[in-house]
Structure 1
């Protein structure tokens, strides 16, 4: 577990984008994916909005995915296993990098074929509590032709990241503009933020 934590942190220090190819085990990624599929079959996902509670809006020309917020109150064994992994990473991050993270929030994200999310930052202008963004992908056998890459924009370059199963991405929420390119297949992830008060 700590190897994947160090992999994220060291690649983040090197390139402002931390990547671990196997942050989630194959079993956990598969179980989370099946849970998301089940929630979607029950029509429990909601249209993803833009902004926070104070300035929330919906615009399918900017963002077209659907989400479902994770919560320990759901008492789902696989979501709780994910939370345990995130909490261990936060302890490691705070101890090794003095990050000062005190909380987190995560949701499932589902992109159907044709869905996308245009360029954006993750930190709200009216609320700076989101410090780091994390995305864990749940897509087995993802092909280049499936599209749906995360495109991260930096000053002199851009980085295209395939949403392959088990991979987790980590970057500062207020620093890197990014987008989700049009997907040609069903694309699933857990997306969220490490926060401080």
Structure 2
């Protein structure tokens, strides 16, 4: 008889505890879901360009000065007087998105480079300004894909841009283009923004 009475008492006390605590638990859980972290409010100062979309700049190649191998017998000593450049570059927020450069040397050799991958000019955490541009190099109509040009920007503004460029000519292009003694080419390229001409 004692055990039956104890069982009834413990069951009823458990029932009372469950009836009282269950609604309290549900209320406390529901109230914590509604309270979130306060949202941060962002505001730009008047006159700041924080929310301005960066402009796209288009530059035209205006001058190419050969630095090497200008005096080699393969190209001739006065080749600088006979360099005929053309091309353009499109830059958006520090990234070259499109570029084409064509150069005719003394009417004998024609070479061109077409950018195939965007080139980031400013890399975070790097002090040096040297970057590599990847594209298709063509000499006398024969193409070499995935050619890398070493670019060193010396001036970049919304009005003009200047780069030192160097690259190695692949042997297949040297032989096909008739410039077997050249090997590596370096040049200084000057560009002017389209609306600045």
TM category (shorter chain) comes to under 0.3
Which structure has greater helix proportion?
1
TM-score by length of 2: 0.26
Larger fraction in strand? 2
Please give the TM-score of this superposition, normalised by the length of structure 1.
Answer: 0.26
Please identify the structure whose Cα radius of gyration is greater. 2
